[in-house]
Structure formats: C-alpha cells, structure tokens
Amino acid sequence: MTSPMETDEQLPNGNSSTVAAVATTASKTGKLAESLKLEHQFLRVPFEQYKKTIRANHRAFEKEISTVISGISDAADADLSRDDALHQLNSLVSRLQGLKRKLEEGSLTEHLQAQRCRTRLEHLESADVDNVSDWNAVRLKRILVDYMLRTSCYETAEKLAETYNIQQDLVDIDVFYEAAKVIDALKKKEVAPALAWCAENKSRLKKSKSKLEFQLRLQEIIELVRADQSIRAIAYARKYLAPWGATHMKELQRVMATLAFKSTTECATYKVLFEEKQWDYLVDQFKQEFYRLYGMTVEPLLNIYLQAGLSALKTPFCYEDDCTKEDPLSQEGFRKLAQHLPYSKQHHSKMVCYISKELMDNENPPLVLPNGYTYSTKALEDMAKQNHGKITCPRTGLVCNYTDLIKAYVS
C-alpha cells in the first residue's frame, strides 16, 4: 500500500509531465493555426469560380426570360392569325426548353464547384497535430503544381498531380487552362479572346479600375496603323475608345498621334509603341488581372515560401566570393529570389569554422592565422598533427607553423 508521503512526492512529477505535454500540444496547435492562415488563396479560387458561374447563369436566365416576355407581349398586341400565333408560341416554348437545358447544365456546374469548395474545406479541417507532417507534404505538392501552372507548364502540372495522387479538387488546373487560352492568343498577337474575357468579367474589372481592356484596344489601333489602315483605326477609336477619353486622354492622344508618325518613325516616344515587347506587357498585365480576379498571389506560392526562409538566412556575408557552398544564398537562383529582401536581424552572431563546420565558442575557440583568416582550434590541431606542426590555409594556401597562430576571444 502506497503511503501518503509517497503519493505527495509523485504528484508534482506527474503534473509537470502533463503540463509539458499540454504545452507542447498547444505550441504545435498554435503553429498549425498560423500555418492555415496562409491558405487564403486555396479557398478563394474555387469560391470566386463558383460566384462567377452563378452570375453567368443568372444573366442568361434574365436575358432569355426578358426575351420570352417581350415576345408574348408583342404577340398579344399584334393582330395575328391562328396559325401565326401558334407558330409564335411554339417558338417561345422551344426557347424556354432551351433555357431549361442551359439551367440544368449550369446547375450541374454549380454543384461541382460547390463540391470543390467543400472538399477544400474538409482538407483544411483534416489538418491535425498528429498528421501535420503528412498534411504539409500534401501542401508542398500543391505548391509545386501551382508553380508549374504559373510558369505555363500545364501538362507537367497535370502529370505531377497525377503522380502525387492529388485530388483534382485540390489544385486549380482547369482555372489556369482558362487563362492559357488568352495568353496563347496574346502571344500570337490576337486580342479577341482577351477582350471576350474582359467582357465576361466587366463588372469585376470595373470595380478594380482595371485598364486591361483599354490597353488591348490601344494595341488594336497600333496594329491597324502598322498595317497602314488609318481610316479603320480612326473608326475603331471612335467606336471603342471614346468612353475612355475622360480618364485616359493622354494615353489616347499618344496612340492616335501614331497616325501621323507611322510605324517606321524613329521618334522614341512613338517607336516604342510598335515594339514586340508591348505584347509581352499585355501578357503580364492580363496575368495580374487574372490573379487579382481570383484572389491569387501575384508571385508563385513557391517563391513566397522560399523568400520567407531566405529572409532569415540573408546576411551581407552571403554575397561575398568566399561564401560557403552550404549556404543556400551562395546559389545564383536563391540570390535572385532574396534580392529585394532585407537582411535578417541577428542579435547574436555565431562563428562557424570553415574547415570543420563546427561552432567556434569557448570550448572550441577560434585561432587567427598570420593572414587574418580564422579557424577553430580543433580543426587546426588535427591539421597540425597530420602535417608535423604545419598549418595550410585552405582559402589562400598560406603555410605557417602552429605556434604562429594567435588565439581570438569570443565575447
């Protein structure tokens, strides 16, 4: 039988273990909650697509119903024979039947998109402290697929999703295929698909004060001027660009001036308008508007996550010629990613031996060579033992005696 004294002595240990376990769990839960805050785009994209489908179905319904009601009103007011009235009514019935089919198809599309939203919510809810490692592995794969889509590697993205067994509802392949049609057309110098996309999303683009449609219309005029079709260019400007005159008069005047300067001009102000890079600019502008419309980040998620890590590693030493190869920022690709990031705030510096990669501290103090380079005591002692008391600087090739080294003190 356990004595009261023994029980009292065991309780504090039991309580401390429980408290530690609870604290660890709470810490992991807090980190997971912070991590989930970064999944805004993951939920926003299917939701925006769902809303877009609802709006399109609603517009189609209103348009068809309005036409049918107008047809019935006209038939009632007109003095039609029995056969003509019957023909008119049959035509309206056929139109309503067509509307019914469209609404059924639209309803199915809405259902599939609502299911996608539900699947993504369930995926986020499945994130738990116990399976956070597996969940993060899936997230990394999603981010890689997103990167492939952003760089127009659509087939690779599909293969990647298939190889990783990622549900189609967890990636945005179909959404990016929608953008691919417009991007490919712009690369072929065709603006019709881009203008159709602008018309389809007119209200949203107007709210965000987008200039994409205006820029596309200006490029149409430039191409007409290039083809020496000045009359058509003027007619086109009167029809499509007059509404933009109040807010974008300077840009409009600059483009219309090309009618006088022609495509062969050497005047830098107007010559630049005829350069091929204007089409690249339109592609970039479309991508930004597309990302904004669906609530996506302009930068690929992979870049954002990498920059978050690089910001903690970036120091002035990373850009020196003798930066260690173990440092990610010794690679040109990572340096480019971190170019606009601030240097990390280091409250306490650490000295790492270039030879052994071990930390230099009071237990393993740094030793200074005559040329000013510093290495750890343990590494230099091992080198001296193997070379009869001689030390060779691995970076400059200087050879000296171990007795010539000076001890440095870390404060």
Q: How far is CA 228 from the centre of its chain?
A: 41
The Cα 409–Cα 361 span in angstroms is 9
Please name which of 236, 232, 191 lies closest in space to residue 215, comparing C-alpha atoms: 191
Do residue 317 and residue 361 come from a single domain?
A: no
> Do both 281 and 317 map to the same domain?
no
Quote the Cα angle for 216-220-224, to 5°. Answer: 170
Q: Residues 305, 232: contact at Cβ < 8 Å?
A: no
What is the reported pLDDT for 326? 78
Q: Could you tell me the pLDDT band of residue 28, with boundaries at 50, 70 and 90?
A: low
> How far is it, in rounded angstroms, from Cα 369 to Cα 399?
9
Total number of domains constituting the chain: 4
Summarised one tens digit per residue, pLDDT across range 229-244 is 999 999 999 999 988 8
Check: CB of residue 37 under 8 Å from CB of residue 44.
Answer: no
CA–CA dist 186, 208 (Å, integer): 22
> Would you say residue 29 lies in a domain?
yes
284 lies in a domain?
Answer: yes
Same domain for 384 and 315: no
> Are 184 and 285 found together in one domain?
yes
Phi/psi of residue 176, each to 5°? -75, -30
DSSP 8-state code for residue 240: I
CB environment 174-207: b (16+ within 10 A), e (fewer): ebbeebeebbebbeeeebebbbebbeebeebbee
* Same domain? 184 vs 275: yes
User: Does 161 fall in a domain?
Assistant: no
Convert the pLDDT of each residue in 321-374 to its tens digit. Answer: 777 777 888 888 888 888 888 888 765 667 889 999 898 988 899 999 999 899
Q: Are 248 and 319 in the same domain?
A: no
Query: Which of the listed ranges 2-16, 284-298, 343-357 does the model predict with the highest average pLDDT?
Result: 284-298
Is the separation of the CB atoms in 75 and 67 below 8 Å? no
Question: Does the residue 225 lie in any domain?
Answer: yes
Q: Is 52 within a domain?
A: yes
pLDDT tens-digit profile of 112-145?
999 999 999 998 888 887 788 888 889 999 999 9
Domain end marker among 127, 143, 158: 127
Do residue 382 and residue 365 come from a single domain? yes
Residue 78 amino acid letter:
A
- Assess whether 183 and 262 both reside in one domain: yes
> Computed over its alpha carbons, how large is the radius of gyration of the chain?
34
Q: In this structure, are 239 and 317 located in the same domain?
A: no
Describe the chain by its helix, strand, coil percentages, rounded to 5: 70, 5, 25
3-state SS class at 248? coil
User: pLDDT > 70: what percent of the chain?
Assistant: 89
* 310 and 267, same domain (yes or no): no
Distance CA 400, CA 369 (A): 8
List the CATH number of the domain containing 373. Answer: 3.30.40
Residue 15 is assigned to a structural domain of this protein? no
| Res 386: pLDDT | 93
Q: Residue 391 above 90 pLDDT?
A: yes
Look at residue 203 and tell me if it is in a domain: yes
Instruction: Specify whether the CB–CB gap between 348 and 398 falls below 8 A.
Output: no
| pLDDT tens readout for residues 56-115 | 888 888 888 888 888 888 777 777 777 777 887 888 888 888 888 888 888 898 999 999
Amino acid identity of residue 126, one-letter, is S
Give the dihedral sign, CA 310/312/316/321: negative
Residues 403 and 376 in one domain: yes
Answer whether residue 280 shows pLDDT above 90. Answer: yes
**Strand extents, DSSP E, 280-349:** none
Domain match, 283 and 185 both:
yes
- Domain holding 313, by residue range, is 302-337
236 lies in a domain? yes
For residue range 260-279, list pLDDT tens digits in order.
998 888 999 999 999 999 99
Average pLDDT value over all residues in the chain: 85
d(CA 326, CA 357): 10
